[in-house]
């Protein structure tokens, strides 16, 4: 799995990525992992938006296990609302259901 945004994503931020056929495949879906540092009690909404593919979002972190969402946002966009139970490094995995590729913004608010 490729890791993007060495500085990490920040709440209130938006990053742009592009899924390509060269991405690593996790559970049959090409995807990219983005780093995010969470603070205990911090509540965020994470949106993965693409008009090119059916987005699929996963968040893994301390005390969370794995949270997943296919169509929680508008249309075929993914959205997860997360309140972090512990401090620590998290991974936000942006992927495509069905293997399609394209450009996407990843937003944390």
The structural domains of the chain, ordered by start, are 2-108 (2.60.120.380)
Residue holding tokens 């893994």? 60
Q: Which of 78, 85, 87, 71 is nearest to 107 (CA)?
A: 78
Chain centroid, CA 10 distance in Å: 12
Q: What is the pLDDT of residue 12?
A: 75
Q: What is the pLDDT of residue 2?
A: 47
Q: What is the pLDDT of residue 6?
A: 45
Question: Under 8 Å CB-to-CB from 77, ≥6 apart: which residues?
Answer: 47, 48, 49, 50, 55, 71
- Output b/e per residue, 42-72; b: 16+ Cβ within 10 A: eebebbbbbeebbbbbbbebeebeebebeeb
Q: Tens of pLDDT along the chain (109 residues)?
A: 444 544 467 777 788 888 888 888 877 788 888 988 999 999 999 999 998 888 999 999 999 988 887 776 666 789 999 999 999 999 899 998 888 889 999 999 9
């Amino acid at each position: 799995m490729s890791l993007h945004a060495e500085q990490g994503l920040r709440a209130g931020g938006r990053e742009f990525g592009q899924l390509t056929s060269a991405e690593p495949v996790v559970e049959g879906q090409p995807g990219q992992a983005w780093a995010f540092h969470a603070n205990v009690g911090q509540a965020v909404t994470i949106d993965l938006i693409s008009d090119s593919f059916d987005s699929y979002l996963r968040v893994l972190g301390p005390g969370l296990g794995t949270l997943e969402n296919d169509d929680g946002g508008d249309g075929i966009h993914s959205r997860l609302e997360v309140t972090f139970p512990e401090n620590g490094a998290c991974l936000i995995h942006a992927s495509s259901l069905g293997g399609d590729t394209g450009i996407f913004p990843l937003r944390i608010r």
